[in-house]
Each structure stands twice: as structure tokens, then as C-alpha cells.
Amino acid sequence: LQINAKYNEELAQETLEWIREITGDNINIAGDMDNFYETLNNGTLLCKLVNCIQPGLVKKINESKMAFKCMENINAFLEAAKILGVPTQETFQTVDLWERQNLNSVV
């Protein structure tokens, strides 16, 4: 609970606006934790985002709602972020998003 106290709704909304701008997906950009989590938790949008930045970076995006498939998407996004030059300390752990443990670090 302590970690989520750092969560910034404005920053989360800016993040979702940026994702919407790049992907062209008509997503809800409300910055509240519930919407932020619901929008990103299966990893498909994150993978799409990466592929908009560098086409084909994520080879397979799982559309399945099964937990391990969603986590595979999140992992693929994190790997792609590293390839794109995002330092490891600037990324997050899969469980931070999937288990909603630290949405602040996801933002």
C-alpha cells in the first residue's frame, strides 16, 4: 500500500495519452489506478506500442486472457524496452503490473 501512495494520476493520464497518440487506439485515458491497470494489464497494448515504435520488435502478441499469456506479453514489452535502450532501472517487473503491485513504477 505504501508504494501506491506515490502513484500520480496526472502522470498516468499523460502516459495513456502518449500511448493513445502512438498506437491510434481509442483507449480510456483516465489516470485513476483502476483504469490504468485495466488498460494495460494484459500487455497487448504495451506490445502494440512497442511495435508502433519499431515494427516487428514483438513477434507474437497474445490476445488470450490467460494469465501466463498476459505475463508473456508484459515480458515481451519489457524485453523490447531494453532493446530500445530503456535502462533496466527505468522499467518495472512483470508482477508490478500483472499483480498490480507497483503501478507507480509502471507509469
In this prediction, residue 74 carries a pLDDT of 98
pLDDT 10s digits, 45-102: 999 999 999 999 999 999 998 999 999 999 999 999 999 999 999 999 999 999 999 9
Q: Cell numbers for 30, please give them.
A: 483516465
Please, are residues 60 and 47 in contact by the beta-carbon 8 Å criterion? no
pTM over 0.75: yes
Identify residue 20 by its one-letter amino acid code: R
In this prediction, residue 1 carries a pLDDT of 52
SS3 content of the chain, % helix, strand, coil (to 5): 60, 0, 40
9-105 adopts what CATH topology?
Actin-binding Protein, T-fimbrin; domain 1 (1.10.418)
In this prediction, residue 4 carries a pLDDT of 65
Q: What angle do CA 88, 81, 99 make, to 5 degrees?
A: 75
Sign of the four-CA dihedral 16, 17, 18, 19: positive
Radius of gyration over alpha carbons of the chain, in Å?
A: 13
Q: What are the domain boundaries of the chain? A: 9-105
What's the full length of the chain, in residues?
Answer: 107
Identify residue 86 by its one-letter amino acid code: V
